[in-house]
């Protein structure tokens, strides 16, 4: 357990965000590269030394429209081949809105879990996103009077070919999640309420995805050309969470919703560990202050037996003291009266391609 404690604007979240970038190749805070780069700069980077499962030095360079990874001075291409992809699970205050928020967050959670189970899923997701973007451009041209009907057939076939594998991965991941989620929820909070998750889509069947998706696209073809974008596919789907057979979004209390989200994150940890044969790093960003004492105690009780490495940020020193007694290995970094300084070698270029951080 590694805890960074201190007031706001001391760099606590930045440390966790760097760890997320190295292990998941994306931030838990934003999807835009520009928001990861300091104002006035054109690029940023994270450099990390890993000690287990194998000793490695990893550098992630970030520019406005691209990320590049080097592992022990060798470029990793494509990103789906990065061996540590999906090896962390992040949990921050925004995740507490996972159930009541928009469907984008729930789809992202499902895809992150799928990548944790099998990193090659990233390639499937990236292909789908590229094809969707191209098909939407074409539909927008048609909407505005372009006669691109031959290209429409080509990109519709490409869309089907890209969407079908993603549907299959999502169906599989939801099935695996359901096998674990309910038991974790009950064990964590010692209650009898049952929790389940359903993948909500507009297909007529899950048994013949290709046929069902093709049929739906045919039905919506005129409407898509009229509005200028794709109206059916994995990008339009959602997850439905139920507690005792009722939709949590509508009927669950705030406490029940937070309990479900905690159980989801624990399930993500457990399933990733089961499928990858290592324990993911857990990143808890200021989540302790957002939970009531009962749920903090339940989460801490679980984490005290977790075999992986934990990084936690908080501004609440008293809750840190309560955590301390539960863990045999415990490191505390107090940022309350300190700043983080970026160190550069002498005569280094202004752009910080590599840097280290120390407390001063």
What pLDDT is attached to residue 347? 43
Query: CB–CB of 84/309 below 8 Å?
Result: no
What pLDDT is attached to residue 322? 67
Residue 41: DSSP 8-state: -
Alpha-carbon distance of 184 to 178, in angstroms, equals 10
Q: Look up residue 307 and give its two tokens.
A: 């075999």
Buried b (16+ CB within 10 A) or exposed e, 220-243: beeebbeeeebbbbbbebebebbb
| Main-chain phi, psi angles of 241, to 5 degrees | -100, 135
| Main-chain phi, psi angles of 245, to 5 degrees | 70, 5
Query: CB–CB of 79/22 below 8 Å?
Result: no
Chain centre distance of CA 89: 7
Q: Look up residue 250 and give its two tokens.
A: 């509508």
How wide is the angle at C-alpha 30 spanned by C-alphas 311 and 64, nearest 5°? 115
What pLDDT is attached to residue 338? 52
Q: Which contacts (CB < 8 Å, 24+ apart) does range 161-166 have?
A: 161/131, 162/124, 162/127, 162/128, 162/130, 162/131, 162/132, 163/128, 163/213, 163/233, 163/234, 164/209, 164/210, 164/213, 165/124, 166/124, 166/125, 166/128, 166/234
Alpha-carbon distance of 18 to 54, in angstroms, equals 19
Alpha helices in the chain (DSSP H): 12-24, 103-117, 121-143, 149-189, 209-227, 248-251, 254-276, 293-303, 317-324
What pLDDT is attached to residue 129? 96
Cβ count near 208 (within 10 Å): 12
Going by C-alpha positions, the residue among 301, 304, 303, 290 that lies closest to residue 255 is 290
Q: Look up residue 182 and give its two tokens.
A: 């309910």
Radius of gyration of the chain (CA): 22
Per-residue tens of pLDDT for the chain, all 360 residues: 888 888 777 788 889 999 999 988 888 888 888 888 988 899 999 999 888 777 889 999 999 888 999 999 999 988 888 888 888 999 988 898 999 999 999 999 999 999 999 999 999 999 999 999 999 999 999 998 877 778 999 999 999 999 999 999 999 999 999 999 999 999 988 888 999 999 999 999 999 999 999 999 999 999 999 999 999 999 999 999 999 999 999 999 988 999 999 999 999 999 999 998 889 999 999 887 788 888 888 888 888 888 888 998 888 777 766 677 777 777 878 887 555 443 433 443 433 323 334 443
Chain centre distance of CA 283: 11
Q: Which contacts (CB < 8 Å, 24+ apart) does range 332-336 have?
A: 332/3, 332/5, 333/2, 333/3, 333/4, 333/5, 333/359, 334/5, 334/6, 335/4, 335/5, 335/6, 335/7, 335/10, 335/11, 335/12, 335/359, 336/5, 336/6, 336/7, 336/10
Q: Look up residue 261 and give its two tokens.
A: 């989200």
- pTM of this structure: 0.86
What pLDDT is attached to residue 360? 37
Q: Is 286 left (phi over 0), alpha (psi -120 to 50) or beta?
A: left
How close are the terminal C-alpha atoms of the chain, in Å? 22
What pLDDT is attached to residue 229? 95
Q: Would you state the CATH architecture of domain 93-258?
A: Up-down Bundle (1.20)
What pLDDT is attached to residue 149? 76
């Amino acid at each position: 357990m590694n805890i960074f404690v201190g007031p706001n604007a001391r760099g606590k979240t930045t440390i966790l965000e760097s760890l997320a970038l190295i292990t998941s190749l994306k931030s838990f805070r934003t999807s835009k590269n520009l928001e990861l780069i300091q104002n006035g700069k054109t690029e940023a980077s994270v450099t990390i030394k890993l000690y287990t499962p194998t000793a490695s030095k990893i550098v992630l360079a970030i520019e406005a429209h691209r990320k590049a990874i080097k592992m022990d001075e060798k470029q990793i291409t494509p990103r789906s081949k990065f061996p540590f992809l999906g090896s962390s699970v992040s949990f921050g205050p925004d995740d507490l809105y996972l159930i009541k928020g928009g469907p984008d967050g729930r789809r992202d959670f499902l895809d992150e879990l799928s990548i944790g189970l099998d990193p090659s899923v990233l390639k499937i997701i990236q292909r789908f996103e590229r094809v969707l973007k191209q098909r939407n451009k074409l539909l927008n041209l048609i909407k505005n009077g372009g006669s691109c009907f031959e290209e429409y057939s080509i990109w519709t076939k490409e869309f089907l070919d890209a969407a079908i594998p993603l549907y299959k991965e999502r169906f599989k991941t939801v099935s695996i999640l359901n096998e674990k989620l309910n038991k974790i929820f009950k064990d964590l909070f010692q209650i009898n309420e049952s929790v389940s998750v359903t993948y909500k889509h507009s297909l007529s069947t899950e048994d013949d995805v290709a046929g069902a998706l093709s049929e739906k696209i045919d039905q919506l073809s005129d409407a898509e050309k009229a509005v200028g974008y794709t109206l059916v596919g994995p990008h339009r789907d959602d997850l439905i969470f139920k507690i005792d057979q009722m939709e949590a979004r509508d009927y669950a209390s705030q406490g029940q919703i937070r309990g479900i989200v905690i159980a989801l994150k624990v399930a993500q940890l457990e399933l990733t560990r089961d499928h990858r044969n290592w324990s993911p790093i857990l990143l808890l960003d200021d989540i302790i202050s957002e939970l009531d004492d009962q749920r903090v105690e339940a989460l801490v009780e679980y984490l005290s037996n977790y075999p992986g490495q934990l990084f936690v940020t908080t501004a609440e020193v008293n809750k840190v003291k309560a955590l301390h007694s539960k863990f045999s290995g415990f490191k505390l970094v107090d940022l309350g009266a300190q700043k983080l300084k970026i160190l550069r070698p002498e005569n280094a270029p202004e752009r910080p391609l590599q840097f280290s951080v120390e407390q001063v």
